[in-house]
Copies of this chain bind each other. A is one copy, B any other.
Amino acid sequence: MESPDNERWARVVASLAENNLSALVCRLPENVVMLSGYWPVLGRSVVVLPTEGEPALTAPASEVSAVERGWIPDVRTFHAWRVGDDDPEASISRLLVQVMADRRLTGRRIGYEGSFGDVAVPQRVLEAWAGTPSMVDPSIPGSSAEWVDFGPQLSRLAGEKTEREITRIRTANEVGDFGLAIFFSETAPGRRESEIAAAVEAEIHTRGIGYKGTRNARSEAEVISGPRTADSWDFPTSSDRVIQEGDLVVMELAVVADGYWADLTRTVVAGRPSDEQLHLFSAQRAAYEAALEAIRHGARAADVDGAARRALEPFGLSQLFVHHTGHGVGFRYHEPIPFIHPSSTGILGTGMITSLEPGLYGAHFGLRVEDNVVVTQAGAEPLCHSPRWSHLEAL
């Protein structure tokens, strides 16, 4: 078990105190990761972080080895799914009532995740556990407390990462590098989109587990080729299309390593790029570099977005950049803070991690290069190391 991320706890406790709350109770996997460093397998784990006294964690007994990747010593487990075991919800309630009593939280004001939309999935990616009426009404049967929605504060707190968190998100980006290398080596005329995506995901699972202590690594690769790239900003999935000579091929890649996320994109040409394709890559690189140059502590998010768009003007391509320049990432695949967009009113701060993803989309083509960068006092640092514009560098 690691030592606690005291910086994260201190920040959350300060915000709880400001809001006159005595504790925070979190069940969403992304928030359990943030508060405990442990990525739930089934998603039925709860962290109680009191403003006074030690935090506590409830988890299924089957997850004790996963819990070791975190840093909360007070772990209370329950058995379920065997013949004769109690219903998991009843076991969780029983443990939480005891935690509430132990920490003298009965009858106090408690923060919970009342306002959430998307849910980060647990390790069992194909079966997410999510909102139920009893989650929206979080009251624990047998315990009394006043429940207060702490969701907006949690989003804001999650937006600024601690050193520990940056290290783990960097690991997720490096695991992403394993997959990007396979994308570069496997993409060629004659291959199917689904085949390349499958090879990338396999590499990340195989090499990611065990990398810098990572217990579990998974990814979702969407490989989009040829005319399909025109919609590659709009969440298409890989198909069985066979890649043709000269196709643009975009790969959107979500990576999760022990609950910390990366969101990466690369675009290559299958075969030899045309002059027109090289022109597109040059423009995209200019937008990326202008935005990267503009990012620093204190910068206005809208200004960073504007820098990317202005850089496209000399190329005559600014109307092809249809979406935002960046969004928060790290505890989730997409987070709301920061948001680098023309209408954003936000200010960038040290420790924020943003995607940086200018893209260009025409009627029959599209391309994008996306990194995750951490905001520093002086500028910004990309967290992965893969090539970005290898066709331009080969000129």
Give the number of copies in the complex.
Answer: 2
Nearest chain-B residue to A214 (Cβ)? B240
Q: Are A342 and B233 within 8 A (Cβ)?
A: no
**A116-124, A159-167, A270-278: which lies at the interface:** A116-124
Measured between beta carbons, the chain B residues less than 8 angstroms from A239 are 209, 215
A124 touches B220 (CB 8 A): yes
B131 contacts A130, C-beta separation under 8 Å: yes
With a 10 A CB-CB cut-off, give which of A42, A131, A192 has the most chain B CB atoms. A131
Q: Does A236 contact B (CB under 8 A)?
A: yes
Are the C-beta atoms of B126 and A118 separated by less than 8 Å?
no
Q: Tell me which residues from 110 to 150 in chain A have a Cβ below 8 Å from any Cβ of chain B.
A: 114-121, 123-133, 135-136
Q: Which residues of B contact A218 (CB under 8 A)?
A: 126
Q: Pick the residue among B81, B126, B205, B240 that contacts A333 (CB under 8 A).
A: B126
Residue of A42, A127, A238, A333 most packed against chain B (CB within 10 A): A127
Other A-B pairs, 9, CB within 8 Å; known A115-B133, A136-B136, A209-B238: A41-B237, A60-B234, A62-B231, A83-B342, A120-B127, A126-B254, A130-B131, A131-B132, A194-B209
Do A256 and B129 have beta carbons less than 8 Å apart?
A: no
Contact A323–B82 (Cβ < 8 Å)? yes
Q: Which of A306-356 contact B (CB under 8 A)?
A: 322-324, 332-334, 341-342
Chain B residues with CB under 8 Å of A119's CB are 119, 128-131
**How would residues 155 to 199 of chain A score, 1 for a CB under 8 Å from any chain B CB and 0 otherwise?**
000000000000000000000000000000000000010110111
Q: Which residues of A contact B (CB under 8 A)?
A: 41-42, 60, 62, 66, 81-83, 114-121, 123-133, 135-136, 192, 194-195, 197-199, 201-203, 205-206, 209-210, 215-216, 218-220, 231, 233-240, 254, 256, 322-324, 332-334, 341-342
Q: Which of chain B's residues have a CB closer than 8 A to the CB of A237?
A: 41, 66, 123-124, 215-216
Q: With A83-B324, A323-B83 in contact, is A114–B133 under 8 Å at CB?
A: yes
